[in-house]
Amino acid sequence: MTDRVPLERKVLNENDRIAAELRARFRENGILCLNLISSPGAGKTSLLERTLGTMAPGTRVAVLTGDIQTDNDARRLARFGFPVKQITTGGTCHLDARMIERALADWKLADLDLLLIENVGNLVCPSSYDLGEAAKIVLLSAAEGDDKPLKYPSIFFRAALLVLNKIDLLEHVPFDIARARENARRIQPKIEILEVSCLTGAGLEAWHGWLDHRCQRAQMEAALPAG
């Protein structure tokens, strides 16, 4: 056990170094990079389908999607005509900065404004790994427990945005959305919260508005003098 802590620290230090380099490259190119994290089945891929499905051809957006096995999510997202790449971890329960760096090696960053990263379905490990993103986004669906922010505080503390998904199920499940919001803000008082349904489209206009605002901010920051 005594050897494990220094090893984990070394791994995270190396990850943070690469993430900082990625973040600098994203900023230089005016790219908004977002890291989507949730439990399996909370609706990350569905939200990305809804997002890409409303974007005009030629929009400068790309997606990296992580999974332990299969390229199912990448194939679902590729049909919208934007660059999509699957990162198959082969058992690792999270993406790390090195995986992102390798996946981007043959993409020209100057051609992008928005990079969406769909992390492996997991609320624990992904919270510890910086991918160079501008913000982590955590999804919580109405099919889960409204106490999850208290059970998995690390990711809710680190997230800039909470997307409460599958609100079309609220009349059918014992999910208290007000309590979910309250629990999230007990962990992170400044977290932004959106309520959406990828099935009915409810709340997606606010989601797109959030994306547009953050993309504009990234472009403005890129135009500022370095340092």
The C-alpha atoms of residue 42 and residue 22 are separated, in whole angstroms, by 27
In this prediction, residue 150 has a pLDDT band, given cuts at 50, 70 and 90, of: very high
3 vs 125 pLDDT, higher one: 125
The C-alpha atoms of residue 218 and residue 215 are separated, in whole angstroms, by 5
The DSSP 8-state label assigned to residue 109 in this structure reads G
pTM of the model: 0.93
Is the CB of residue 157 less than 8 Å from the CB of residue 179?
no
Mean pLDDT of the chain: 94
Mean pLDDT confidence for 127-143: 97
85 phi-psi bin (left φ>0, alpha ψ -120 to 50, beta other): beta
The C-alpha atoms of residue 62 and residue 149 are separated, in whole angstroms, by 29
Min mean pLDDT across 2-6, 93-97, 150-154, 171-175 is at: 2-6
Classify strands 61-67 and 114-118 as parallel, antiparallel or unpaired: parallel
Is the CB of residue 151 less than 8 Å from the CB of residue 121?
no
Whether 94 shows a pLDDT value over 80: the answer reads yes
Q: What is the pLDDT of residue 227?
A: 56
Q: What is the pLDDT of residue 224?
A: 82
CATH number at residue 109: 3.40.50.300
Q: What is the pLDDT of residue 66?
A: 96
Mean pLDDT confidence for 150-172: 98
What DSSP element (H or E) covers 23? helix 4-28
List beta partners, residue 163.
139, 194
Q: What is the pLDDT of residue 69?
A: 84
Report pLDDT digits (tens) over 203-217.
999 999 999 999 999
Q: Which domain holds residue 76?
A: 4-223
What burial class does residue 148 get, using C-beta atoms within 10 Å of its C-beta: 0-12 exposed, 13-18 middle, 19+ buried? buried
Nearest partner of 107 among 91, 87, 127, 92, judged by Cα: 87
Is the CB of residue 35 less than 8 Å from the CB of residue 136?
yes
DSSP 93-159: SS--HHHHHHHTTTS-GGG-SEEEEE--S-SSGGGG---S-SEEEEEEETTS-TTHHHHSHHHHHH-
Q: What is the pLDDT of residue 222?
A: 87
The C-alpha atoms of residue 221 and residue 216 are separated, in whole angstroms, by 9
- Write the single-letter amino acid at 206: A
Min mean pLDDT across 5-9, 38-42, 119-123 is at: 5-9
Domains contained in the chain, number: 1
Q: What is the pLDDT of residue 193?
A: 98
The C-alpha atoms of residue 69 and residue 120 are separated, in whole angstroms, by 10
Whether 10 shows a pLDDT value over 90: the answer reads no
